[in-house]
Chains A and B, each alone.
Chain A
Amino acid sequence: MSRFLEENPKSNMKERHERTLESSRKKEQIKGNKLTALCGVFTALAMILSYLESLVPITFAVPGIKLGLANLVTIIALHKLGLKPTIIISVGRIILSGILFGNVTVIIYSLAGAALSILVMALVRLFKIFTVTGVSILGAVAHNLGQLFVAVIVLENVNIMYYFLVLGISGTIAGAFIGILAGMIMRNIHFR
């Protein structure tokens, strides 16, 4: 009887310990599943936003000027989900909407822009100098730059880089707008 009493609290502790371990493991599992689901939702949202934007063509004097609504998703993903999910979401979005609405050229240009944009945004975030708006501005400008690099290579004409002067202005304004919007959304919507 006394042995039983002695053992019981021990086994209880053990059990409890195992249970907490299990629950923490379960929590991680949910986190992973939730992350996967969120990646899917974000990719879909980004695709819808880039499709919406293509429905309302705002053409200015110089090609390449656009708002970049899909970048909203990229920025929120980068802040809330991390770098790896952001890359998955961006690449997924570009390849899927490229196949659905565009062609190989569009995919190559978009990938180059997104790659440089995400690289710059991830680096800038490390230094913590700028808020979400600054990150977004630099991301937009880097996006334009990445696409111009591809244009220079494809067209074998370096003079195209002059377009950066115009795209830099439009990218800064669009990036600021998207950044402020992303900041407001992240203030009001919680993901975890």
Chain B
Amino acid sequence: MSDKKDKIISIGDIALMIGVIAFCVAGIILLVSNSKPGGNVTVTVDGEAIESFPLNKDTEYSVNTDNGMNIIVIKDGVVSVSNADCPDKICVQHPPIDSEGETIICLPHKLVIEIVE
């Protein structure tokens, strides 16, 4: 078959790749350099703030939502999710968070754990 050989990759594509990646890397660098250590962590379910904890006190808290359960652990100033009964366990695999604005999200439970001032 005499198809005209369509180019698979062009200079435009590479420029696009570099552009998008540069934009994202710049954004991340900006975010990281501006990040302040947070003081508190808020737990939000379905858009409603239900609980807030100081980061400097180690505690363990179990969130029971209509959709399921997550166990939030605050230890040494960092917050993580130690266990959950959601199917994907993305919140459990998420690395611990400690800077202002960082979040751990459990989509199936509509849960947002966010570090605030």
Chain A residues proximal to chain B, CB less than 8 Å: 59, 61-63, 105, 109, 129-134, 137-138, 141, 151, 154-157, 159-160, 162, 164-166, 168-169, 171-173, 176, 179-180, 183-184, 186-187, 190
In the bound complex, do residue A176 and residue B13 qualify as a contact, i.e. CB atoms below 8 Å apart?
Answer: yes
Docked Cα-Cα span, A89 to B53, in Å, equals 47
Question: Taking A166-B24, A180-B9 as contacts, is the C-beta distance between A63 and B101 under 8 angstroms?
Answer: no
Which of B13, B21, B110 has the largest number of chain A CB atoms within 10 A? B13
Which of A105, A141, A173, A176 has the largest number of chain B CB atoms within 10 A? A176
12 A-B contacts, Cβ less than 8 Å apart? A62-B94, A63-B90, A105-B107, A131-B10, A154-B110, A156-B46, A157-B44, A172-B21, A176-B13, A176-B17, A180-B9, A184-B8
Docked Cα-Cα span, A151 to B55, in Å, equals 26
Q: Does B52 contact A (CB under 8 A)?
A: no
Chain B residues proximal to chain A, CB less than 8 Å: 1, 3, 5-10, 12-13, 16-17, 20-21, 23-25, 27-28, 31, 44, 46-47, 88, 90, 93-95, 101, 103, 105, 107-108, 110, 112, 114
In the bound complex, do residue A166 and residue B28 qualify as a contact, i.e. CB atoms below 8 Å apart?
Answer: yes
Closest approach, in angstroms, between the C-beta of A139 and any C-beta of chain B?
12
Closest approach, in angstroms, between the C-beta of B17 and any C-beta of chain A?
5
Q: Which of A130, A157, A169 contacts B112 (CB 8 A)?
A: A157
